Amino acid sequence: MKGGIFLICSDAKLSACWSRWILDWIDRSGSDLERAIFLCDSAELARESLALPVLEGDPPGLVIIDRNAAGGTPDLAKMVSDCIPETWVLEILSDSDVIGAQDGRIALRHSARRDEWDSMLHHCLHESPSPQWSRSGE
């Protein structure tokens, strides 16, 4: 994976928890993944922050979007995925959100346990070089 990790979340406690889980997983996995996690507390800040690396040809390897982030919409993950197809886009959903089986999203619930995060990170960052070659939708 090239590029950093963008985490879009308005909740500072969740951002800190999820960032720690990601960094711990990177350490335990023994990978040489970039350890930079860029925190964005709103969808607007994320749009601005993602523009430069994309323009410079260094897109992030993973973008995590908490659907509850300020300015977030159900379409934000799809827009990021469409604009940067080589980047993994993980959407964090509330427990009441519904995911259609046909839309091919990679998602976790707010209530996801650490082992669920580990499994998702392993798939996205080790098993498949990019979302286009992932078998997760099958």
- Classify each residue of 111-131 as buried b or exposed e, where b means 16 or more C-beta atoms within 10 Å of its C-beta: ebeeeebbebbeebbeeeeeb
Confidence of residue 52 (pLDDT cuts 50, 70, 90): confident
Give the pLDDT confidence score for residue 131 in this predicted structure.
67
pLDDT in tens, 23-42: 999 999 887 778 889 999 99
Distance of CA 98 to the CA centre of its chain: 18
Q: Could you give the 3-state DSSP secondary structure of residue 107?
A: strand
Ordered structural domains, the chain, with CATH: 5-133 (3.40.50.2300)
Residue pLDDT, tens place only, 69-115 = 888 777 888 888 888 888 889 999 988 887 665 456 788 999 999 99
Percent of the chain that is helix, strand, coil (3-state, to 5): 45, 20, 40
pLDDT at 132 over 90: no
